[in-house]
Amino acid sequence: MTNSEMGLPPIPPDMEDPAALMLRIAQQQDRSALAALFGLFGPRVKSMMIKLGASDALAEDLVQETFLTVWRKAALYSNQRGAPSTWIFTIARNLRIDQLRRQSNKPYEDLEKVTLASDSPTGSMLVEQHQVVDRVTRALTTLSEDQREVVRLSFIQDMAHAQIAEHLGIPLGTVKSRLRLAYERLRPMLEDLQ
């Protein structure tokens, strides 16, 4: 990605070659080369960080971290894989992503001070649950004994249709037919509960 594609100003032609600076850092641990590289890319990395939503102070910190990483890992840079600017901006972007990930992990609060809502149902919830149970019970009484039995085994005992057929000694088609008929009878009485 070129500087213009990233919305950054072009490198002035009178500046030292960034690839040569990288080579001096990698081979000679040349601090003046790092300073030149910092002067060349530091403000642009900071600008990118601010565009990525970092505060001014955080952007400064991330620029420092970026160039510390460049210093430590300069030997890993290869000009055959891309321009030094691409490598530097990739390091900066990855540091920003890592910072955002760390930021999303909020510190734990003191457990003694945390108040959790009770899982126990409230009075109105209990009344509502009892009303639902009563309605379902009344609706089930409208079914034939055979239909009630397959509904009980299917929904309360959580048995598969084939297991119900085997348990009751009836064909699988009969189980499915009874469930379908029971469902058709119960639907108008209970559809508002869904």
Low-confidence ranges of the chain (pLDDT < 70): 1-15, 104-121, 193-194
Q: Quick one: 97 and 147 in the same domain?
A: no
Quick one: which of 39, 24, 31 has its CA closest to 77?
24
What's the confidence (pLDDT) of residue 155?
Answer: 80
Quick one: which of 61, 79, 68 has its CA closest to 21?
79
Q: What pTM did the predictor assign?
A: 0.48
**Does the residue 69 lie in any domain?**
yes
What's the confidence (pLDDT) of residue 72?
Answer: 93
What's the confidence (pLDDT) of residue 7?
Answer: 53
Task: CATH number of the domain at 177, please.
Answer: 1.10.10.10
Q: Quick one: 26 and 78 in the same domain?
A: yes
**Does the residue 118 lie in any domain?**
no
The number of domains in the chain is 2
What's the confidence (pLDDT) of residue 12?
Answer: 47
**Does the residue 3 lie in any domain?**
no
What's the confidence (pLDDT) of residue 113?
Answer: 61
What's the confidence (pLDDT) of residue 11?
Answer: 47
**Does the residue 117 lie in any domain?**
no
For residue 184, the enclosing domain spans 141-193
Q: Where are the alpha helices (DSSP H) in 29-76?
A: 31-51, 56-73
Instruction: Copy the structure tokens of residue 135.
Output: 């309605």
**Does the residue 32 lie in any domain?**
yes
Q: Quick one: 99 and 146 in the same domain?
A: no
What's the confidence (pLDDT) of residue 53?
Answer: 86
Out of 104, 125, 150, a domain closes at 104
List pLDDT tens digits, range 83-97. Answer: 899 999 999 999 998
**Does the residue 60 lie in any domain?**
yes
Task: CATH number of the domain at 65, please.
Answer: 1.10.1740.10
Cα–Cα distances in angstroms (integers) from residue 40 to residues 11, 17, 18, 37, 127, in the given order:
8, 10, 8, 5, 71
